[in-house]
Amino acid sequence: MKTKILLIGLMFVTLVNYAQQDSQFTQYMYNTINVNPAYAGSRGAMSIFALHRTQWVGLDGAPTTNTVSINTPFNNSRLGLGVSLVNDKIGPTHENTFSTDLSYTIPTSETMKLSFGVKASLNMFDLDPSRLNPDQQDPKLYGYNNEISPNIGAGIYLHSDKAYVGLSIPNFIQSNRYDDNDVKVYKEKISYYLIAGYVMDLNYNLKFKPALLTKMVQGAPLQVDVSGNFMFFDKLTAGIAYRWSASVSAMVGFQVSDALYIGYGYDLETTKLDNYNSGSHEVFLRYEIFKKNNKITTPRFF
Protein backbone atom coordinates (compact mmCIF):
# COMPACT_ATOMS: atom_id res chain seq x y z
CA MET A 1 0.00 0.00 0.00
CA LYS A 2 2.84 2.38 0.85
CA THR A 3 4.36 1.63 -2.54
CA LYS A 4 1.11 2.53 -4.29
CA ILE A 5 0.79 5.76 -2.33
CA LEU A 6 4.39 6.63 -3.22
CA LEU A 7 3.79 5.92 -6.90
CA ILE A 8 0.60 7.99 -6.99
CA GLY A 9 2.47 10.73 -5.15
CA LEU A 10 5.13 10.67 -7.84
CA MET A 11 2.43 10.79 -10.53
CA PHE A 12 0.89 13.83 -8.86
CA VAL A 13 4.25 15.55 -8.52
CA THR A 14 4.71 14.99 -12.25
CA LEU A 15 1.29 16.52 -12.86
CA VAL A 16 2.06 19.55 -10.73
CA ASN A 17 5.46 20.22 -12.24
CA TYR A 18 5.08 19.12 -15.85
CA ALA A 19 1.26 19.04 -16.24
CA GLN A 20 -1.02 16.39 -17.61
CA GLN A 21 -0.72 16.89 -21.32
CA ASP A 22 -2.91 15.60 -24.18
CA SER A 23 -4.29 12.10 -23.69
CA GLN A 24 -2.24 9.30 -25.23
CA PHE A 25 -3.73 6.48 -27.28
CA THR A 26 -2.17 3.28 -28.54
CA GLN A 27 -4.59 3.12 -31.48
CA TYR A 28 -3.96 6.74 -32.46
CA MET A 29 -4.30 5.88 -36.16
CA TYR A 30 -8.07 5.48 -35.67
CA ASN A 31 -8.44 8.55 -33.43
CA THR A 32 -6.69 11.15 -35.59
CA ILE A 33 -9.40 13.78 -35.00
CA ASN A 34 -8.15 14.05 -31.41
CA VAL A 35 -4.81 15.54 -32.47
CA ASN A 36 -5.42 16.96 -35.96
CA PRO A 37 -8.57 18.97 -36.82
CA ALA A 38 -7.81 18.71 -40.55
CA TYR A 39 -8.90 15.05 -40.37
CA ALA A 40 -12.55 16.07 -39.98
CA GLY A 41 -14.62 14.74 -42.86
CA SER A 42 -11.69 13.01 -44.58
CA ARG A 43 -13.33 9.55 -44.52
CA GLY A 44 -16.17 10.72 -46.75
CA ALA A 45 -18.88 9.58 -44.32
CA MET A 46 -20.26 10.52 -40.93
CA SER A 47 -17.87 8.73 -38.58
CA ILE A 48 -18.86 8.11 -34.95
CA PHE A 49 -16.01 7.01 -32.69
CA ALA A 50 -15.90 5.92 -29.01
CA LEU A 51 -12.88 4.71 -27.01
CA HIS A 52 -12.18 3.62 -23.44
CA ARG A 53 -8.63 3.32 -22.09
CA THR A 54 -7.62 1.95 -18.69
CA GLN A 55 -3.93 2.52 -18.05
CA TRP A 56 -1.65 0.71 -15.60
CA VAL A 57 -4.29 -1.73 -14.31
CA GLY A 58 -3.84 -2.50 -10.61
CA LEU A 59 -2.23 0.83 -9.73
CA ASP A 60 -4.43 3.06 -7.55
CA GLY A 61 -5.22 6.38 -9.18
CA ALA A 62 -3.86 5.37 -12.59
CA PRO A 63 -5.15 7.21 -15.70
CA THR A 64 -8.54 6.38 -17.19
CA THR A 65 -9.60 7.98 -20.46
CA ASN A 66 -12.88 8.04 -22.37
CA THR A 67 -13.39 9.80 -25.67
CA VAL A 68 -16.27 10.15 -28.12
CA SER A 69 -16.30 12.04 -31.41
CA ILE A 70 -18.35 12.62 -34.54
CA ASN A 71 -16.94 14.03 -37.78
CA THR A 72 -18.44 14.31 -41.23
CA PRO A 73 -18.05 16.01 -44.60
CA PHE A 74 -20.49 18.91 -44.96
CA ASN A 75 -22.97 18.26 -47.77
CA ASN A 76 -21.17 18.31 -51.12
CA SER A 77 -18.76 21.07 -50.16
CA ARG A 78 -15.07 20.87 -49.27
CA LEU A 79 -15.83 21.50 -45.62
CA GLY A 80 -15.60 18.94 -42.82
CA LEU A 81 -17.04 19.27 -39.32
CA GLY A 82 -16.27 17.47 -36.09
CA VAL A 83 -17.08 17.54 -32.36
CA SER A 84 -15.44 15.53 -29.60
CA LEU A 85 -15.24 15.02 -25.87
CA VAL A 86 -12.24 13.64 -23.96
CA ASN A 87 -12.64 12.68 -20.31
CA ASP A 88 -9.47 12.07 -18.28
CA LYS A 89 -9.06 10.93 -14.67
CA ILE A 90 -5.65 10.71 -13.02
CA GLY A 91 -5.35 10.36 -9.27
CA PRO A 92 -6.96 13.44 -7.70
CA THR A 93 -7.53 15.23 -11.02
CA HIS A 94 -10.42 15.11 -13.46
CA GLU A 95 -10.54 16.79 -16.88
CA ASN A 96 -13.15 17.21 -19.59
CA THR A 97 -12.19 18.71 -22.94
CA PHE A 98 -14.86 19.66 -25.47
CA SER A 99 -13.65 20.37 -29.02
CA THR A 100 -15.11 21.54 -32.32
CA ASP A 101 -13.18 21.02 -35.56
CA LEU A 102 -13.57 22.60 -38.98
CA SER A 103 -11.60 21.52 -42.07
CA TYR A 104 -11.29 22.62 -45.68
CA THR A 105 -9.98 20.24 -48.34
CA ILE A 106 -8.48 20.92 -51.77
CA PRO A 107 -7.41 18.30 -54.34
CA THR A 108 -3.69 18.38 -55.14
CA SER A 109 -3.71 15.57 -57.72
CA GLU A 110 -5.98 12.80 -58.97
CA THR A 111 -5.32 10.78 -55.82
CA MET A 112 -4.10 13.24 -53.16
CA LYS A 113 -5.98 15.83 -51.12
CA LEU A 114 -4.70 18.52 -48.75
CA SER A 115 -6.85 19.49 -45.78
CA PHE A 116 -6.49 22.47 -43.46
CA GLY A 117 -8.17 22.43 -40.06
CA VAL A 118 -8.83 24.59 -37.02
CA LYS A 119 -9.85 23.42 -33.55
CA ALA A 120 -11.65 25.31 -30.79
CA SER A 121 -11.72 23.64 -27.38
CA LEU A 122 -12.84 24.19 -23.82
CA ASN A 123 -11.09 22.43 -20.94
CA MET A 124 -12.62 21.90 -17.50
CA PHE A 125 -10.09 20.97 -14.82
CA ASP A 126 -10.95 19.70 -11.36
CA LEU A 127 -8.61 18.87 -8.46
CA ASP A 128 -9.82 16.94 -5.41
CA PRO A 129 -7.19 17.40 -2.65
CA SER A 130 -9.14 15.07 -0.34
CA ARG A 131 -7.90 12.15 -2.45
CA LEU A 132 -4.28 12.99 -1.66
CA ASN A 133 -2.27 11.61 1.21
CA PRO A 134 -3.14 13.76 4.29
CA ASP A 135 0.50 14.78 4.53
CA GLN A 136 0.29 16.15 1.00
CA GLN A 137 -2.78 18.31 1.55
CA ASP A 138 -2.13 22.01 1.29
CA PRO A 139 -4.75 24.77 1.56
CA LYS A 140 -3.30 26.26 -1.60
CA LEU A 141 -4.48 23.21 -3.55
CA TYR A 142 -8.17 23.89 -2.79
CA GLY A 143 -10.35 25.97 -5.04
CA TYR A 144 -9.49 24.29 -8.34
CA ASN A 145 -12.95 22.95 -9.08
CA ASN A 146 -14.16 23.15 -12.69
CA GLU A 147 -11.46 25.60 -13.73
CA ILE A 148 -12.32 26.49 -17.34
CA SER A 149 -9.81 27.45 -20.01
CA PRO A 150 -10.44 27.91 -23.76
CA ASN A 151 -7.94 27.01 -26.46
CA ILE A 152 -7.45 26.96 -30.21
CA GLY A 153 -5.42 24.71 -32.51
CA ALA A 154 -4.70 24.00 -36.16
CA GLY A 155 -3.40 21.28 -38.46
CA ILE A 156 -2.74 20.21 -42.03
CA TYR A 157 -3.38 16.73 -43.42
CA LEU A 158 -2.18 15.42 -46.79
CA HIS A 159 -3.92 12.17 -47.68
CA SER A 160 -5.07 9.65 -50.24
CA ASP A 161 -6.64 6.19 -49.96
CA LYS A 162 -3.13 4.74 -49.50
CA ALA A 163 -1.11 7.27 -47.51
CA TYR A 164 -1.25 10.23 -45.17
CA VAL A 165 0.98 12.70 -43.38
CA GLY A 166 -0.10 15.45 -41.00
CA LEU A 167 1.27 18.24 -38.84
CA SER A 168 -0.73 19.81 -36.04
CA ILE A 169 -0.76 21.87 -32.85
CA PRO A 170 -4.03 21.08 -31.00
CA ASN A 171 -3.47 23.82 -28.39
CA PHE A 172 -1.81 27.13 -29.17
CA ILE A 173 -2.52 28.65 -25.76
CA GLN A 174 -0.39 27.56 -22.82
CA SER A 175 -2.64 27.37 -19.74
CA ASN A 176 -1.13 28.25 -16.37
CA ARG A 177 -2.85 28.05 -13.00
CA TYR A 178 -1.15 29.34 -9.87
CA ASP A 179 -2.06 30.22 -6.31
CA ASP A 180 -0.44 33.34 -4.87
CA ASN A 181 2.04 33.15 -7.78
CA ASP A 182 3.80 30.48 -5.79
CA VAL A 183 2.29 27.02 -6.27
CA LYS A 184 1.91 25.80 -9.83
CA VAL A 185 -1.10 23.49 -9.81
CA TYR A 186 -1.55 22.87 -13.52
CA LYS A 187 0.21 23.83 -16.71
CA GLU A 188 -0.80 22.72 -20.18
CA LYS A 189 2.10 23.15 -22.57
CA ILE A 190 1.98 23.40 -26.35
CA SER A 191 2.22 20.02 -28.11
CA TYR A 192 3.44 19.48 -31.68
CA TYR A 193 2.32 16.38 -33.60
CA LEU A 194 3.62 14.66 -36.72
CA ILE A 195 1.62 11.69 -38.02
CA ALA A 196 2.20 9.49 -41.07
CA GLY A 197 1.10 6.16 -42.50
CA TYR A 198 1.22 4.16 -45.71
CA VAL A 199 -0.80 1.15 -46.93
CA MET A 200 0.98 -1.54 -48.94
CA ASP A 201 -0.91 -4.22 -50.90
CA LEU A 202 1.09 -7.39 -50.26
CA ASN A 203 -1.41 -9.48 -52.23
CA TYR A 204 -5.11 -9.48 -53.07
CA ASN A 205 -6.21 -10.40 -49.52
CA LEU A 206 -3.40 -8.91 -47.44
CA LYS A 207 -2.44 -5.30 -46.71
CA PHE A 208 0.25 -3.89 -44.42
CA LYS A 209 0.30 -0.41 -42.92
CA PRO A 210 3.21 1.07 -40.97
CA ALA A 211 2.27 4.22 -39.04
CA LEU A 212 4.05 6.88 -37.01
CA LEU A 213 3.07 9.45 -34.40
CA THR A 214 5.66 11.85 -33.03
CA LYS A 215 4.81 14.27 -30.24
CA MET A 216 7.05 17.07 -28.99
CA VAL A 217 6.37 19.06 -25.81
CA GLN A 218 8.74 21.61 -24.32
CA GLY A 219 10.42 20.25 -21.21
CA ALA A 220 9.41 16.63 -21.88
CA PRO A 221 11.12 13.76 -23.75
CA LEU A 222 10.26 13.33 -27.42
CA GLN A 223 7.45 10.77 -27.74
CA VAL A 224 7.67 8.44 -30.74
CA ASP A 225 5.03 5.81 -31.47
CA VAL A 226 5.59 3.37 -34.35
CA SER A 227 3.21 0.61 -35.38
CA GLY A 228 2.64 -2.01 -38.04
CA ASN A 229 -0.76 -3.51 -38.84
CA PHE A 230 -1.79 -6.27 -41.24
CA MET A 231 -5.30 -6.40 -42.71
CA PHE A 232 -6.57 -9.82 -43.84
CA PHE A 233 -9.41 -10.15 -46.36
CA ASP A 234 -10.47 -6.52 -45.64
CA LYS A 235 -11.91 -7.80 -42.34
CA LEU A 236 -9.37 -8.71 -39.68
CA THR A 237 -6.60 -6.35 -38.57
CA ALA A 238 -3.71 -7.33 -36.30
CA GLY A 239 -0.43 -5.65 -35.43
CA ILE A 240 2.07 -4.42 -32.88
CA ALA A 241 3.23 -1.00 -31.72
CA TYR A 242 6.14 0.46 -29.77
CA ARG A 243 6.21 3.67 -27.76
CA TRP A 244 9.84 4.71 -27.43
CA SER A 245 11.21 3.96 -23.93
CA ALA A 246 7.68 3.40 -22.60
CA SER A 247 5.72 0.36 -23.82
CA VAL A 248 5.08 -2.32 -26.41
CA SER A 249 1.55 -3.07 -27.60
CA ALA A 250 -0.55 -5.61 -29.43
CA MET A 251 -3.61 -4.56 -31.45
CA VAL A 252 -6.47 -6.37 -33.12
CA GLY A 253 -9.57 -5.15 -34.94
CA PHE A 254 -12.49 -6.52 -36.92
CA GLN A 255 -14.71 -5.00 -39.61
CA VAL A 256 -18.04 -6.37 -38.40
CA SER A 257 -20.00 -4.77 -41.24
CA ASP A 258 -19.60 -1.99 -43.81
CA ALA A 259 -20.49 0.47 -41.04
CA LEU A 260 -19.10 -1.04 -37.81
CA TYR A 261 -15.46 -1.59 -36.84
CA ILE A 262 -14.26 -2.63 -33.38
CA GLY A 263 -10.71 -2.72 -32.00
CA TYR A 264 -8.72 -3.68 -28.92
CA GLY A 265 -5.20 -2.87 -27.77
CA TYR A 266 -3.01 -4.05 -24.89
CA ASP A 267 0.09 -2.22 -23.65
CA LEU A 268 2.92 -3.74 -21.64
CA GLU A 269 5.22 -1.27 -19.90
CA THR A 270 8.95 -1.36 -20.62
CA THR A 271 9.74 0.96 -17.68
CA LYS A 272 10.02 0.20 -13.96
CA LEU A 273 6.26 0.80 -13.68
CA ASP A 274 5.88 -2.71 -15.09
CA ASN A 275 6.58 -4.00 -11.58
CA TYR A 276 3.44 -2.32 -10.20
CA ASN A 277 0.72 -2.89 -12.83
CA SER A 278 -0.61 -5.53 -15.20
CA GLY A 279 -0.64 -3.41 -18.35
CA SER A 280 -3.08 -1.08 -20.09
CA HIS A 281 -6.25 -1.90 -22.04
CA GLU A 282 -7.88 0.08 -24.83
CA VAL A 283 -11.11 -0.75 -26.67
CA PHE A 284 -12.93 1.28 -29.31
CA LEU A 285 -15.68 1.14 -31.89
CA ARG A 286 -16.30 3.18 -35.01
CA TYR A 287 -19.66 3.39 -36.73
CA GLU A 288 -20.08 5.13 -40.07
CA ILE A 289 -23.20 6.40 -41.78
CA PHE A 290 -22.89 6.54 -45.55
CA LYS A 291 -24.92 8.53 -48.00
CA LYS A 292 -27.19 6.48 -50.25
CA ASN A 293 -25.22 4.78 -53.05
CA ASN A 294 -21.97 6.07 -51.55
CA LYS A 295 -20.66 3.08 -49.58
CA ILE A 296 -16.95 2.37 -49.75
CA THR A 297 -15.99 -0.67 -51.82
CA THR A 298 -13.24 -1.73 -49.40
CA PRO A 299 -12.68 -0.67 -45.75
CA ARG A 300 -10.33 2.25 -45.17
CA PHE A 301 -7.26 1.40 -43.09
CA PHE A 302 -7.21 4.84 -41.41
pLDDT at residue number 2: 41
Phi, psi of 32, deg, nearest 5: -60, -30
Query: What pLDDT is recorded for position 146?
Result: 72
Name the helix (H) or strand (E) containing 2: helix 2-18
Q: Helices then strands (H, E): number in the chain?
A: 1, 17
For the entire predicted model, the pTM comes to 0.85
Q: What is the pLDDT of residue 49?
A: 97
User: Count of CB atoms within 10 A of residue 146's CB?
Assistant: 9
Structure confidence at residue 26 (pLDDT): 92
pLDDT score for 141: 55
What pLDDT score does 92 carry?
84
How big is the chain by its Cα radius of gyration, in Å? 20
Query: In the prediction, which pLDDT does 241 show?
Result: 96
Residues in the chain predicted with pLDDT less than 70, given as ranges, are: 1-21, 129-145, 176-187, 292-299
pLDDT of residue 155: 98
**Rounded to whole angstroms, how far apart are CA atoms 175 and 187?**
5
Question: What span, in angstroms and rounded, lies between the C-alpha atoms of 44 and 295?
Answer: 9
What pLDDT is stored for residue 138 in this prediction? 56
CA distance 84 to 115: 19
The pLDDT value recorded for residue 14 is 45
pLDDT tens digits for 94-153? 899 999 999 999 999 999 999 999 999 999 988 776 666 655 555 555 555 678 889 999
Give pLDDT, residue 295.
57
CA distances, 294 to each of 11, 96, 257, 260, 291 (Å)? 48, 35, 15, 16, 5
- Cα–Cα distance for residue pair 150/140, rounded to 1 Å: 23
DSSP 80-105: EEEEEEEEEEETTEEEEEEEEEEEEE
pLDDT tens profile 231-246: 999 999 999 999 998 8
* Phi and psi angles of residue 208, each rounded to the nearest 5 degrees, phi first: -135, 130
Report helix, strand or coil for 137: coil
Say which residues have a Cβ less than 8 Å from residue 160's Cβ, sequence separation at least 6: 111, 112, 113
- Annotate 104-119 with three-state secondary structure: EEEECCCCCEEEEEEE
Q: What is the model's pLDDT at position 6? A: 40
